């Protein structure tokens, strides 16, 4: 019997799916494996999939992945050019940073860019509010507001409960949200707090740098009491971009606005006369750090695009080599 289910957990080649009433351990079918072209074809947490239930064994076979409305993709860690789907079919991405020692504006820009590119809506969540003074919290929010134009920013404490009511406005019933951020920023603690029970293991922070210890090892989706779904993910030591060109103008709308007002359409923002970007940098309306981050991400995206194109060309070349080899073998067999 084939039904539609949703992927709840992914651990290497093993999946757990739910049909709404029962959960099943699942694996992809042999045909699925043969037809998959890239890592993006495989199921991710949040995916809707067509499965064949093996009811007696409480297992299921995944036949295909249904089209996604959103997907957060990054370049997988390591030297190989491979895309990795972190979460799928989410409405909102909660980009989590802690307020004590972990606030990194340049990293936030990366997450916001990738979230816009995913098709989901970004919300910045600043955790561990209880460990900071009111002045420190306000200063942090002001800094984040400057680089996250139009993105909601919510400061919360899983200890005191401050900010959680405001946060729940972005987790309405029926919505799927994904928690993303580096290790130890309090994602799993936040999940436990929102669920009202200890479902995710957590550990304390180091006194020296206020860094939490990495605990989550796989992606998993939970249902909150109000009927919303939340995906917890392992912390990322770094977020290498996969795509994002189309989201640059949204993420860096301030820089793009100044660039559009330059006298020359091909202005490189270096020594050209009438450069509005250089003018904004000079009068302090645009920070040098923000502008350099914009340039760095542009270069990184261009580099990733070249790597992906080269890989695609090589794969296509190898595919035709194999086709040619198979045809020669068939010809010899007929002789």
Residue 48 CA to residue 65 CA, distance in Å, equals 6
Residue 127 CA to residue 110 CA, distance in Å, equals 19
What secondary structure letter does DSSP report for 185?
A: S
Residue 191 CA to residue 156 CA, distance in Å, equals 12
Extract the tokens encoding 147: 């680089």
Contact status, residue 230 vs residue 194, Cβ threshold 8 Å: yes
pLDDT at 63: 95
Nearest to 41 by CA among 1, 71, 79, 78: 71
Nearest to 295 by CA among 262, 259, 261, 242: 259
Helix (H) or strand (E) holding 87: strand 83-88
Helix (H) or strand (E) holding 308: helix 288-334
φ and ψ at 243, to 5 degrees? -140, 180
Extract the tokens encoding 107: 């990293």
What secondary structure letter does DSSP report for 296?
A: H
Does the reported pTM lie above 0.75? yes
Place of tokens 């640059």: 248
Extract the tokens encoding 286: 């645009």
Helix (H) or strand (E) holding 14: strand 14-18
Residue 288 CA to residue 280 CA, distance in Å, equals 10
Contact status, residue 193 vs residue 186, Cβ threshold 8 Å: no
Secondary structure E strands in the chain: 2-11, 14-18, 23-28, 48-54, 59-65, 71-75, 83-88, 92-98, 121-127, 153-155, 176-180, 219-223, 229-232
Extract the tokens encoding 137: 């919290």
pLDDT at 206: 46
Contact status, residue 155 vs residue 126, Cβ threshold 8 Å: yes
pLDDT at 154: 96
Residue 37 CA to residue 225 CA, distance in Å, equals 38
Extract the tokens encoding 47: 């995916």
Stretches where the chain sits below pLDDT 50 are 206-210, 212, 214
pLDDT at 167: 95
Extract the tokens encoding 185: 């920023």
Residue 18's beta-bridge partner residues? 6, 23
pLDDT at 121: 95
């Amino acid at each position: 019997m084939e039904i539609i289910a949703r992927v709840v957990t992914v651990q290497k080649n093993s999946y757990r799916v739910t049909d709404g009433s029962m959960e099943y351990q699942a694996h992809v079918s042999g045909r699925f494996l043969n037809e998959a072209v890239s890592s993006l074809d495989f199921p991710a947490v949040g995916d809707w999939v067509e499965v064949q239930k093996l009811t007696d064994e409480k297992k299921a076979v995944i036949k295909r992945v249904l089209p996604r409305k959103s997907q957060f993709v990054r370049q997988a860690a390591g030297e190989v050019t491979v895309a990795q789907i972190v979460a799928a079919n989410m409405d909102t991405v909660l980009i989590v940073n802690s307020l004590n020692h972990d606030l990194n504006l340049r990293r936030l820009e990366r997450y916001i860019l990738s979230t816009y590119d995913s098709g989901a809506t970004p919300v910045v969540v600043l955790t561990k509010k209880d460990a900071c003074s009111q002045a420190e919290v306000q200063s942090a929010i002001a800094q984040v507001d400057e680089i996250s134009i139009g993105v909601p920013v919510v400061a919360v404490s899983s200890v005191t409960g401050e900010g959680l009511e405001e946060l729940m406005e972005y987790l309405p019933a029926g919505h799927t949200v994904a928690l993303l951020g580096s290790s130890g920023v309090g994602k799993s603690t936040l999940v436990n707090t929102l669920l009202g029970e200890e479902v995710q293991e957590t550990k304390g922070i180091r006194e020296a740098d206020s860094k939490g210890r990495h605990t989550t090892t796989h992606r998993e989706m939970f249902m909150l009491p109000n009927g919303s779904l939340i995906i917890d993910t392992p912390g990322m030591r770094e977020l290498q971009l996969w795509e994002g060109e189309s989201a640059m103008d949204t993420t860096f709308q301030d820089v793009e606005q100044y660039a559009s007002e330059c006298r020359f359409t091909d202005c490189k923002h270096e020594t050209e006369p009438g450069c509005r970007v250089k003018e904004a940098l000079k009068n302090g309306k645009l920070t040098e750090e923000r502008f350099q981050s914009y340039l760095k991400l542009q270069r990184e995206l261009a580099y990733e695009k070249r790597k992906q194109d080269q890989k695609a060309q090589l794969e296509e070349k190898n595919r035709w080599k194999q086709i040619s080899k198979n045809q020669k073998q068939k010809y010899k067999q007929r002789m």
